[in-house]
């Protein structure tokens, strides 16, 4: 260890760490705790509270800047952590302040919202999830961490693992969709990607699983809104991804803005004490979301910020993000005897352990290497992964023949292509929400991608309209170009800031006058492909009824245009599958594949059953849906047994054949339905999947295994257990297109 920069008091404990050799995890933890306890024992109350305080750095045209008050707080030991501070040069100067000019020389921690990339931007997380490729998703997090850590960061405020079944909520873009099983696997994959094998590796970031808990289920889809769930639904649907991330090693947890059952999450003892600490045995650092302690006053849960801080600390919050509540009030709360200093000590111990595990006490400058920053920013590896991940994230929604021929993939080598729409040559919106320090100048737009892929075609591009507003100044030009073209690609959807935080929408059609433009262009009679780019599912009923080809491309990041061009031209055969259902209209929401049956299931012939008068129950496009340029045939399901006991394993297999003329990837999905339970069960639940590549004419047997562990749920007595009875197993290409078989679970 580099000891000379630390006070003499640290030498004895630090020597113990060196001499021990840290031969195993237990030994390392013991040495770490000895070191941290020694340091804690030398801290004043103000210095302890400073470690519990997280403030933000800003950005000006000249680069990153720090509020002068925060600079004074750092020098006085009143602020031990910063977020949004980035670049090696800037963070090095800040770290010099902390370890060179403060009494105890405790290093600063640097955090940032590295949601889907740092400089090189990958597809939004919702898009990545549509790849159903856990290795690629993990790789995205790994590379994002490498680039961000090379810029002096230690801590990513990701993964966001909130399950969401209401696309009105803008932050659906940051998660993995509507399914708990898939969401939990992706949460673990992203956590492992960020953190790697060691937090002290300067090419990794500590993960922060968020938002704890059930932030993705606000009433009416309004961000920051109230959440009210039964404990059964909370445990079965919303909690598993958080737990999966923590079991994968997530070093920290961020509280959510919402309340659950009347208690704001930032003061929710059930979440932070009973569940996180006691039941899940997690010692992860707990940080608030931005000013969420302060906001408990608006919730009506605290009379003032002082009380809010007391409630948060007592519930188990270690670090206050940006609100300044701990810094301004905790000392007085201790002096008054309202909170015990022991609670502060416990929080500071977790924070110091966190910094220790990151290797900051060993070398405060381990993340601050200018050459490493230069090499890893926009590296070829980053850019190539951005392309590969983007291609896998695209979902082909429709490709029906026109005059006996499908529009996709494009087969024209020459001719006129009309690229119409506000997203056709738009680098910023390709980056999507929360695009960190993404550089629009590095983005390949759709126009640029098509020009590279189709150099002999005459590609004529016009906006036609914006993603917002009613400006029709280029609408007539769009119609003229459509009339002159052999084929039209309509690049429509949302701008990057129409989804994400504080971007809830009550209307999910195309914003602005884009729908008018689509209808005007389609009326020309020129064949139309709609390229839909957004951060959420949109209601596109008219397009689905009237346009022969629809490609859902979400917001794909730095290499968006190249990936889209590869799919449109057939250089890449689309393989994405939806991880969230597309509603027909907002009135259907929530609509998701794992709903429950009612006592009067929908029957078109019976008026008095559960249905609408004006729209079908089913979504426009269901969970798991996605087309290919080839076709796949499924055999029936073969079971190795029709009855299994609690200790047995069921094997269910299907044979999948590529019946088309192109190689293609297919995600084979397995669902189960518990036909009778002590509480009602969903009509189906995802329990397995496998992504396979088949050549034309090739077939493959896909085998899934099930045990009683896969059939557990929270029973009427709230025990997590499997119950004997009959089950249906469903295997297919989407949640609505499956083969079926039945088996029985016995005691």
Q: Three-state SS string across 541-601, please?
A: HHHHHHCCEEEECCCCCCCHHHHHHHHHCCCCCCCCCCCCCECCCHHHCCCCCCCECCCCC
Residue in 510, 508, 591 with CA at minimum distance from that of residue 547: 510
For 38-44, the CB contacts below 8 A with 24+ separation are 38/9, 38/10, 38/12, 38/13, 39/10, 39/13, 39/104, 39/106, 39/352, 40/345, 40/348, 40/349, 40/352, 42/7, 42/9, 42/104, 43/104, 43/348, 44/77
Helix (H, G, I), strand (E, B) or coil at 174: helix
Ranges of the chain with pLDDT below 50: 1-22
* Whether residue 289 lies in the annotated active site: yes
Active site residue: 289, 429, 562, 710, which one?
289
Tell whether 657 and 543 lie within a shared domain. Answer: no
Answer yes or no: is 127 within a domain.
no
pTM of this structure: 0.96
Answer yes or no: is 550 within a domain.
yes
Answer yes or no: is 627 within a domain.
no
Tell whether 316 and 430 lie within a shared domain. Answer: no
Tell whether 441 and 582 lie within a shared domain. Answer: yes
**How does pLDDT run across 267-303, given as a tens digit for each residue?**
999 999 999 999 999 999 999 999 999 999 999 999 9
Tell whether 577 and 636 lie within a shared domain. Answer: no
Tell whether 534 and 452 lie within a shared domain. Answer: yes
CB atoms within 10 A of CB 524: 18
Answer yes or no: is 654 within a domain.
yes
Residue 234 has what DSSP assignment?
I
Residue 627 has what DSSP assignment?
B
What confidence score (pLDDT) does residue 62 get? 67
Tell whether 328 and 223 lie within a shared domain. Answer: yes
Answer yes or no: is 578 within a domain.
yes
CATH number assigned to the domain comprising residue 728: 2.60.40.10
Boundary-marking domain end, from 335, 355, 376: 335
Answer yes or no: is 400 within a domain.
yes
Residue in 63, 62, 86, 89 with CA at minimum distance from that of residue 370: 89
Tell whether 317 and 398 lie within a shared domain. Answer: no
Instruction: Write the secondary structure of 448-471 as one string of H (helix), E (strand) and C (coil).
Output: HHHHHHCCCEEEEEECCCCCCCCC
Whether the Cβ atoms of residue 741 and residue 726 lie closer than 8 Å to each other: no
> How far is 462 from 476, CA to CA, in rounded Å?
10
**How does pLDDT run across 362-406, given as a tens digit for each residue?**
999 999 999 999 999 999 999 999 999 999 999 999 999 999 999
Helix (H, G, I), strand (E, B) or coil at 110: strand
What confidence score (pLDDT) does residue 683 get? 98
Domain that holds residue 736: 632-746
Tell whether 636 and 529 lie within a shared domain. Answer: no
Tell whether 650 and 514 lie within a shared domain. Answer: no
What confidence score (pLDDT) does residue 443 get? 98
> How far is 201 from 299, CA to CA, in rounded Å?
41
Tell whether 581 and 646 lie within a shared domain. Answer: no
Residue in 502, 504, 744 with CA at minimum distance from that of residue 646: 744
What confidence score (pLDDT) does residue 396 get? 99
What confidence score (pLDDT) does residue 28 get? 78
User: Distance of CA 595 to CAs 237, 307, 716, Å?
Assistant: 11, 41, 18
Tell whether 327 and 358 lie within a shared domain. Answer: no
Answer yes or no: is 467 within a domain.
yes
> How far is 575 from 528, CA to CA, in rounded Å?
21
Number of domains within the chain: 4
CATH number assigned to the domain comprising residue 227: 3.20.20.300
Whether the Cβ atoms of residue 408 and residue 570 lie closer than 8 Å to each other: yes
Per-residue exposure over 259-285, b if at least 16 CB sit within 10 Å of its own CB, e if not: bbeebbbbbbebbbeebbbeeeebbbb
Tell whether 578 and 440 lie within a shared domain. Answer: yes
What confidence score (pLDDT) does residue 58 get? 85
User: Distance of CA 106 to CAs 39, 82, 177, 460, 526, Å?
Assistant: 9, 13, 40, 58, 66
**Unique residue bearing structure tokens 């590529």:** 658
What confidence score (pLDDT) does residue 22 get? 44
CATH number assigned to the domain comprising residue 512: 3.40.50.1700
Answer yes or no: is 278 within a domain.
yes
What confidence score (pLDDT) does residue 61 get? 61
């Amino acid at each position: 260890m580099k000891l000379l920069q630390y006070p003499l008091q640290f030498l004895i404990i630090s020597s113990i760490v060196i001499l021990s050799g840290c031969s195993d995890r237990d030994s390392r933890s013991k040495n770490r705790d000895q070191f941290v306890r020694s340091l804690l024992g030398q801290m004043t109350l103000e210095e302890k509270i400073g470690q519990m305080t997280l403030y933000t750095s800003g950005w000006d045209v000249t680069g990153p800047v720090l509020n002068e008050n925060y600079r004074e707080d750092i020098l006085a030991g009143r602020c031990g952590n910063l977020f949004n501070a980035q670049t090696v040069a800037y963070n090095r100067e800040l770290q010099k302040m902390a370890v060179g000019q403060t009494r105890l020389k405790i290093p600063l921690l640097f955090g940032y919202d590295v949601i889907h990339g740092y400089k090189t931007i990958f597809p939004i997380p919702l898009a990545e999830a549509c790849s159903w490729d856990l290795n690629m998703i993990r790789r995205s997090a790994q590379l994002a961490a490498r680039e961000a850590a090379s810029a002096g960061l230690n801590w990513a405020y990701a993964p966001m693992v909130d399950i969401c079944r209401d696309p009105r909520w803008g932050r659906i873009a940051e998660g993995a969709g509507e399914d708990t099983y898939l969401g939990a696997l992706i949460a673990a994959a992203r956590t492992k990607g960020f953190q790697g094998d060691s937090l002290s590796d300067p090419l990794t970031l500590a993960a922060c699983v968020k938002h704890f808990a059930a932030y993705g289920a606000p009433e009416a889809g309004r961000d920051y809104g109230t959440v009210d769930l039964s404990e059964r639904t909370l445990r079965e649907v919303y909690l598993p991804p958080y737990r999966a991330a923590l079991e994968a090693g997530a070093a920290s947890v961020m509280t959510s803005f919402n309340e659950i059952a009347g208690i704001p999450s930032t003061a929710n003892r059930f979440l932070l004490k009973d569940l996180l600490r006691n039941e899940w045995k997690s010692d992860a650092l707990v940080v608030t979301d931005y000013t969420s302690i302060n906001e408990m006053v608006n919730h009506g849960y605290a009379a003032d910020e002082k009380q809010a801080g007391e409630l948060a600390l007592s519930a188990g919050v270690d670090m206050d993000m940006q609100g300044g509540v701990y810094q301004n009030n905790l000392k007085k709360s201790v002096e008054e005897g309202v909170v015990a200093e022991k609670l502060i000590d416990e929080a500071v111990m977790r924070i110091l352990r966190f910094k220790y595990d990151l290797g900051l006490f060993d070398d405060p400058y381990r993340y601050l290497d200018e050459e490493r920053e230069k090499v890893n920013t926009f590296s070829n590896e980053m850019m190539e992964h951005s392309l590969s991940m983007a291609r896998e994230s695209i979902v082909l929604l429709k490709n029906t023949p026109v005059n006996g021929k499908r529009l996709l993939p494009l087969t024209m080598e020459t001719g006129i292509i009309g690229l119409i729409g506000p997203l056709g040559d738009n680098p910023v919106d390709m980056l999507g929400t929360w695009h960190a320090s993404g550089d629009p100048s590095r983005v390949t737009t759709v126009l640029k991608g098509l020009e590279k892929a189709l150099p002999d075609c005459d590609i004529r591009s016009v906006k036609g309209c914006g993603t917002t507003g009613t400006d029709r100044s280029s609408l007539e030009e769009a119609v003229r170009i459509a009339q002159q073209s052999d084929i039209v690609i309509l690049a429509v959807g949302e701008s990057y800031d129409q989804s994400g935080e504080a971007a809830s929408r009550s209307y999910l059609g195309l914003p602005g006058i884009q729908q008018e433009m689509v209808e005007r262009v389609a009326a020309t009679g020129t064949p139309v492909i709609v390229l839909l780019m957004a951060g959420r599912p949109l209601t596109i009923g008219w397009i689905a009824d009237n346009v022969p080809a629809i490609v859902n491309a979400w917001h794909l990041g730095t290499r968006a245009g190249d990936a889209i061009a590869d799919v449109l031209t057939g250089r890449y055969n689309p393989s994405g599958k939806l991880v969230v259902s597309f509603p027909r209209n907002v009135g259907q929401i929530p609509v998701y594949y794992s709903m429950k049956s009612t006592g009067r299931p929908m029957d078109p012939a019976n008026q008095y059953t559960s249905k609408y008068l004006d729209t079908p129950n089913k979504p426009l496009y269901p969970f798991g849906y996605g087309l290919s340029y080839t076709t796949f045939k499924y055999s029936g399901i073969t079971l190795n047994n029709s009855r299994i006991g609690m200790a047995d394993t069921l094997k269910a297999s299907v044979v999948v054949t590529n019946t088309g003329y192109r190689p293609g990837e297919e995600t084979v999905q397995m669902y189960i339905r518990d036909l009778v339970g002590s509480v009602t069960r969903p009509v189906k639940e995802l329990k397995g999947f496998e992504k396979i590549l088949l050549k034309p004419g090739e077939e493959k047997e896909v085998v899934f295994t099930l045990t009683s562990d896969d059939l557990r749920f929270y029973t009427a007595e709230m025990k997590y257990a499997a119950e004997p009875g009959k089950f249906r197993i469903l295997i297919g290409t989407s949640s609505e297109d499956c083969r079926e078989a039945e088996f029985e679970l016995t005691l």
